[in-house]
Each structure stands twice: as C-alpha cells, then as structure tokens.
Amino acid sequence: MVDPHALLGVRPDATPEEVTAAYRKLAKEWHPDLAGADAGRTMALINAAYDLLRSAGWQRRAHREASRANGRPPGGAWLDAAVRRALGPELLRALGSGERVAVVTPAATWASPHTLLAVTDRRLLWLLDDAPVNRIRSLDFGAVRRIEHRRGWPRRSSAVLRVTPAVARPLSFTELRPPTAQTIAAHVIAALRTAARRD
C-alpha cells in the first residue's frame, strides 16, 4: 500500500486535526461527483489512507502498552510503520510471515461495534476490539464463495460488506465508507480470480 502520509500530503507526525484537514481538502478535489467518474479510484485510495491513519491513532495506545509489556516490538517488520501502527499488536501477531496488508479500516460487526478489519494478500482478518476472548477472527480468500458491497440503510453515507463463506454463516462488516467497501470487494474478487487461473 502507498504510504498514507504521502498520499494525504502530511508529515508522519501530523496531528489528527492536520490529517483530517488534508483529507477534506483532497476529498473536495477528487470526489467523483466533482472530478468525474474516473476519480473514483483515486478517491478510494484517499479514503483508505485516511481510514488507515484514523485506525492508527485508535491502535497506537495498545501498541505502546504491548511493547512495554513484553519488552520487544510486535512483528510485521516487512510492513510500513504506519500499517504496523494501524494493525496494532494483536493483529500483527496474527499475521503470517511476509503477509502483505492492502487495507486496514475501522468497521462494525454483529459481534462488536468496534471492529478493526484488515485485508491482506490472502485473507480477511479482523479484531473484535471490545470482545473479552476470541478477539481475532479470519477468513481465507479460498473459503469465500461470494463477496458484495452495498450502501447502508438508513445511513446512505456508509456501506455494508457482505461475505458469504463456502461453509459457515454469512458475515457483514458495516459502517464502512462506500469506496473502502468497494475497494475491499474488488481486492478479494481479484485474488479469487487469480487463484482460479492458477488452478
């Protein structure tokens, strides 16, 4: 993933207010309603960068506490520092060696209104932040039978990502930005098509 700070044009030590101001400025410039349909991909990247930096702030405290507790930094040395901060210690520990991360975004599920969703090169991985046990869940792309996104209701400003596994109940991730949900769905579909071509 492109460095989210560079994409938004802010310093790595930018305050949340500076990040929000930069995001709003870029959103006014690149929103598809203003810049045309071709700007949709750029706007999706801007939204993903903003979501990543927002979730980075959300996870920063847990990251510091975990580092202090065990005396060593969490894994994921192959990832960008902003991505590691956004994932936090629990999701970092759940990653496989060399597993790349495409998107990290806050979301909500039926099990937790405070979910952190990561989309890697091989699976969906999420943290149920307010769950006392079994906080980390995952679903390999190979187990996905169908994925789709739609606008949320009644709040049309959010989106729902619905994932139907081959064997299990469907999953719904809510409170996503529509371009972020679209990007995640496209990423998973592309991974499934690539796997099908290999077989």
Residue with tokens 């960068």: 49
**Contact status, residue 118 vs residue 104, Cβ threshold 8 Å:** yes
- How many CB atoms are closer than 10 A to CB 64? 12
Between the alpha carbon of residue 133 and those of residues 66, 87, 130, 169, the distances in Å are 17, 18, 9, 20
The token pair that represents 89 in the structure block: 């210690």
10-residue mean pLDDT series, the chain (199 residues)? 78 81 86 72 82 65 50 71 86 92 92 91 91 87 94 78 93 92 93 84
What's 38's DSSP letter? Answer: G
- Identify the pLDDT of residue 72: 52
Single-letter amino acid code for the residue at 170: P
**Class for the domain spanning 4-198:** mainly beta
- Identify the pLDDT of residue 62: 46
- Identify the pLDDT of residue 80: 84
The three-class DSSP label of residue 45 is helix
- Identify the pLDDT of residue 160: 94
